[in-house]
Amino acid sequence: MSGNGDAAAKAEEDSSKMRVIRVGTRKSQLARIQTDTVVAMLKALYPGLQFEIVAMSTIGDKILDTALSKIGEKSLFTKELEHALERNEVDLVVHSLKDLPTVLPPGFTIGAICKRESPYDAVVFHPKFVGKTLETLPEKSVVGTSSLRRAAQLQRKYRHLEFKSIRGNLNTRLRKLDEQQEFSAIILAVAGLQRLGWQNRVGQILHPEECMYAVGQGALGVEVRAKDQDILNLVGVLHDCETLLRCIAERAFLRHLEGGCSVPVAVHTTMKDGQLYLTGGVWSLDGSDSMQETMQAAIHIPVQHEDGPEDDPQLVGITARNIPRGAQLAAENLGISLANLLLSKGAKNILDVARQLNDAH
């Protein structure tokens, strides 16, 4: 937004006493690349500051023999990083936004949501099936995915395929695909493949008609201590207005549905001509039962906006003082309204059954 330069200058002035900003990240190659991207943006804005990257492993990185949806922990990839924030060992943490729960622990907030890359999913094929699509894979081909959301939607559409959990970071999953004969293809996020420079492995991009994406997919979130004004000012200039509003709507939808990684919930958002469009859906585990709806809301972003009160509460875990409050509330209300519409049509029953079946297996 237009005030970003001024805000950056003010934040640098406020932060001049902070010689070294410590940035927490997971240890995986993708997490390091994502963190380096955010640090590079901050260095460009604040050439007078130094940044130190602190890498650590999370529960989700350590438990690799269990499907994510079975571990039963909402903050699989964030808890250890938040402990470091709490203990003042780091000043900010870079996450894939889709890994951040819609309700953060007390004392934390998302201080920036960077411009979103592609939110879509991609199919990466085993070398012997390069040139194929999901539709043309042989009967009973096994497709790997760690996501109930992807499996439910794709099972519904491609009934001749079998879907099986595959864990590990992107490097590990690609190695399993290439070196073992178990999987004919795996499903991964386009953004992750692009960040790692592996665009050439994308065999098919799944558009929303085939597979809607996860809440926040493709965007990076910067988590900070909620009361650390210096750091909030420092990172707040990274907020991308359109990405922020889309993700507020998506996170509000998921939070109001009480969804998580143990149930298949997916979204698709666009902004056009001052309107924010949100499509959201829920599925049974096998995809046989599903429900989806689309709603829209007018989003007014004035050229200049009045400063709100300094103690503005967070919206779905996000603090964004440099984005008009009214626009943020309209996005949140859109997410809540769409969730209520689906709930009124019986979505809770689909999600409850999915949760029970997932827990039972």
Q: Give the residue numbers annotated as catalytic, written as ranges.
A: 99
Alpha carbons 283 and 157: distance in angstroms, whole number:
12
Q: Is 253 exposed, middle or buried (0-12, 13-18, 19+ CB in 10 A)?
A: buried
| Eight-class DSSP state of 28 | S
Alpha carbons 12 and 140: distance in angstroms, whole number:
58
Q: Identify whether the C-beta of residue 14 lies closer than 8 Å to the C-beta of residue 230.
A: yes
Structure tokens at 48: 């007078």
319-to-136, 237, 240, 246, 323 alpha-carbon distances in Å: 46, 12, 13, 15, 9
Q: Is 51 helix (H, G, I), strand (E, B) or coil?
A: strand
- Which residues have a Cβ under 8 Å from the Cβ of 276 and sit 6 or more positions away? 245, 246, 249, 269, 270, 296, 297, 298, 299, 330, 331, 334
Q: Identify whether the C-beta of residue 199 lies closer than 8 Å to the C-beta of residue 193.
A: yes
User: What is the number of other CB atoms lying within 10 angstroms of the CB of residue 210?
Assistant: 18
Alpha carbons 170 and 79: distance in angstroms, whole number:
21
Q: Is 21 helix (H, G, I), strand (E, B) or coil?
A: strand
| Eight-class DSSP state of 213 | B
Structure tokens at 139: 């009967």
Alpha carbons 293 and 19: distance in angstroms, whole number:
49
